[in-house]
Homo-oligomer: A and B are copies of this chain.
Amino acid sequence: MAKPEPAPAPAGTAQPPPAEPARPLPWRYESSGYMINLAARLFERALAERIAPLGLTTGQFPVLLALWERDGLAQSELVRIVRVEQPTMAQILSRMERDGLIARAADPDDRRRALVRLTARGWSVQAPAVAAAHEVNRLAGRGLSDAQTREFLAVLMQMSANLSCAAAPGPT
């Protein structure tokens, strides 16, 4: 019947002695990729429901972070910063323009480029949106020490770097 399987008991926490014959964790829970994917979806859901009242979506968030830090970037620069593919960025920017968060103006120096500028509304959501993101991070990190969180972030960075410049093993 396949038990409900509602999140494996938080590892590292003491558990009552298992009445069952110590069923081993399914393999997936020892796979970094599987667990990262799961955690990423949970983070996204948690953020989505908190920024929806602001009229924001999760995909817009990294773009806003970049623009709040430096307004007037071109699409190609946002692509490099946010690290999504160019058509993904084009699509997100279209919706942000539609929703009045940004405006695009042609770059006079290079007519191929379109500079992205925040509107008043784009600026106005900064404080509450950042607060929502902080709250999700705080909630997720409950029960973890600062050292654990820092080490966790360091591992994430190492893994991202490992996967960044790693195409599939070419059939040499």
Contacts and interface: CB of A to CB of B under 8 A. Distances in A.
Given A42-B160, A157-B8, A157-B11, A2 B32 contact: no
Interface stretch (A44-52, A89-97, A98-106, A117-125): A44-52
- A interface SS class: helix
Given A12-B158, A148-B155, A37 B43 contact: yes
Contacts of A83: 7, 38, 41
Interface string A59-78: 00010010001100100010
A159 interface: yes
Contacts of A162: 10, 139-143
Interface in A148-172: 148-149, 151-164, 166-169
A32 B140 contact: yes
Interface residues of A, number: 76
B80 A163 contact: no
Contacts of A47: 33
Given A39-B159, A153-B29, A163-B39, A2 B70 contact: yes
Contacts of A27: 65, 69
Contact of A158 (B11, B38, B50, B84): B11
Contact of A154 (B11, B46, B84, B159): B11
A35 B160 contact: yes
Interface in A1-56: 1-2, 4-13, 26-47, 49-50
